Structure 1
Amino acid sequence: MIRDLGESDLPWMAEVESELFGASAWSRELIEHDYVYGFTRYRGIEADGRLAGYAVYGYDGDAFHLMNLAVLPAMRRRGLARALMEDFLAEARRVGAPDVWLEVAVTNDAALALYRAYGFEDVRVRRKYYQPEGVDALVMRRALSTYEPGSP
């Protein structure tokens, strides 16, 4: 089940962020501020009766952007990331965005494989985007004119 995350879910999300992304994780303060003031939607996916992952995406009227997608390590390889991607793409279509954008660490092979499976193409590299580690980010884009729900 995919649902909107509520304020009571944000501490859980901050813990998962820290566990998965280390020093470059979004802080709890940043998450809480963005949740209230950002042009974002926070979505969570449940499996086995508990939250197992989340996606954060937003639309500012110009760009529809996936800002974060994460699944707990113990819950991976069950299609949860794909379900969150489907939710993200369906929302982008619903609001009429012509394309979708994201950044991903060049070292994150699993995420790169997922995004490429969904037709995202490399646009450019942002050097030392993820701090404090100094890891490069790959900016990727997908036109929505070819998107059909249920197929990458």
Structure 2
Amino acid sequence: MTPAEGAGAGAAPAWVIRDLGRADLPWMAAQEVRMFGASAWSRELIQHDYLYGLTRYRGIELDGGLVGYSVYGYDGDAFHLLNLAVVPEARGRGLGRALMDDFMAEARHEGAPDAWLEVAVDNEIALALYRAYGFEDVRIRRKYYQPEGLDALVMRVQLSGYEPGF
């Protein structure tokens, strides 16, 4: 993805989205614990999935430093957003939307018919973001997030005719 287009004519880019490298994984693992507590992805899970999974790890930089990330994959049937997070001090600047734009562009590029995700039922900010991209409620997965036992809402968007919500 290219730098933020909203930076203004001649202004320095506000953010850049790039693939995460192995050297970025400890930072991501630390942010997982910071933002998601007990239900965070472990460092071992992140490293294993990065090396052996069919996933893509993307990071968003603001002023040269990582401030968010997304993880998504395509199994040949549907695109799946596995994780999307922006550090608290960088929220409210459109970085989550930028990561969603990146995810949706890749899904369309791959020709995926659908995109799927799970989100905590009490995460109102994320729910509003996903709904703005056309995601609709499919079902509840009881006690999906462990060890808290928090329910997840499964959401889906059909990609044919997709237009950005922003």
Same-fold call, TM cutoff 0.5: yes
Aligned length: 151
Which of 140, 144, 159 in structure 2 is aligned with 1:129? 144
The alignment-based identity, stated in percent, is 75
- In structure 2, the residue matched to 1:57 is 72
- In structure 2, the residue matched to 1:106 is 121
CA distance in 1, matches of 2:96, 2:118: 16
Moved over 6 A (4+): none
| Deviation per residue, 1:93-137 (Å, 9 max, x gap) | 111101100000001111001001111000000000000000000
- In structure 2, the residue matched to 1:15 is 30
Task: Give the counterpart letter for 1:100 in structure 2.
Answer: A
Task: Give the counterpart letter for 2:122 in structure 1.
Answer: T
SS at match of 1:132: coil
| Deviation per residue, 1:68-87 (Å, 9 max, x gap) | 00001000000000000000
> Is the 2:138–2:154 contact (alpha carbons within 8 Å) kept by the matching residues of 1?
yes
CA distance in 1, matches of 2:39, 2:149: 9
| Deviation per residue, 1:25-62 (Å, 9 max, x gap) | 00000000000111100000000210010000000111
CA distance in 2, matches of 1:39, 1:60: 8
In the TM superposition, residue 10 of structure 1 has moved relative to its aligned partner by 0.1
Task: Give the counterpart letter for 2:96 in structure 1.
Answer: A
Structure 2: unaligned runs, 5 residues or longer: 1-15
Q: TM-score by structure 1 length?
A: 0.97
- In structure 1, the residue matched to 2:157 is 142
In the TM superposition, residue 151 of structure 1 has moved relative to its aligned partner by 4.1
Task: Give the counterpart letter for 1:77 in structure 2.
Answer: G
